[in-house]
Structure 1
């Protein structure tokens, strides 16, 4: 039985825990966590069916579920091209702290390999291993739910922080635009006082006024999108 290559806590460095995560990556993480929850239960169900009715295709479904579960867990813990793995202290604590989610999920995956192998061989131990797999799946489900809820909470926090940052940038731009309008107004006053000598200066001031007007409109549109 090929053991699942779980990652020890000491292998996760500070860079991995503090990396930036995009909104799209959060979507992938939540989907993978939900898939892990679904496939764990599917694995247990089809292991039972494969034991009761060999040759009906149940073993293929059980093995597919086990592979999906293994791949999802590996991506969530180790990361890949589309997912960051463990990127914050909350997740590190969930997987390697008191909850020991990584150890529990890895043990379930290993038990799944053992149970399916025994069922395929029709070994005497198959019935006991399948029973253990069912019991383990039931115990694992609340843990998987808790970890999935953590990903969802982290995604909400990320969205709120991103919204606050965008709003802060837009308000900063709005402040700069107001300052630019004051400069344009003062420039027009100077141009009027200078008479014909200030004609070119007046043209520049008018152009600056037009630019600040465009900035104001962009800020209003951006802030409107943020508020929505």
Structure 2
């Protein structure tokens, strides 16, 4: 693989070092300090070319292994790190509803074309209800205050904390195990104290959750699979 074959975006910022990020779609973002020459950027990328190739190959393999779902009976869906089987009951005269019973997601519907919409709406509600509960539990335990809690679709992050301490979570994290969700919640609550990812911030996270790196690794290795459709 040659450098000119890569999909690269160079972003200049006030920073001290060059950082290369490989996205899931294999686009490459290179964060560089203002004033760095193209020659230096090229040399850094060239040295990292083998690492970049490995990352791209890993992304490609993950995409091949990802099971595309269609909202049909018998499919398996992740919820809190466990697989649940979708059971669809078509009843054109009944009411649309969806619920979890034991290891099944039971969906009653009048129109099979609405199943995907119903499943995503259900997951969004599950996410908001659980995350609100976990934020409340951890904020009270840690004596930290926050603004609102919302869930949204976010492509590149699991959660964020605004300047006003409003917490925004990717609803897809409801598919992760509870301890991983707790890490995401704690990560954002810590941003109500430290707004950046400084060493003080990570020391604070480590004090609250000493094994937080295990949760980060889980997200890194499995996050690509937290998708519905």
Give the structure-2-normalised TM-score.
Answer: 0.28
TM-score by length of 1: 0.28
Indicate the structure (1 or 2) with the bigger Cα radius of gyration.
Answer: 1
More strand by share: 2
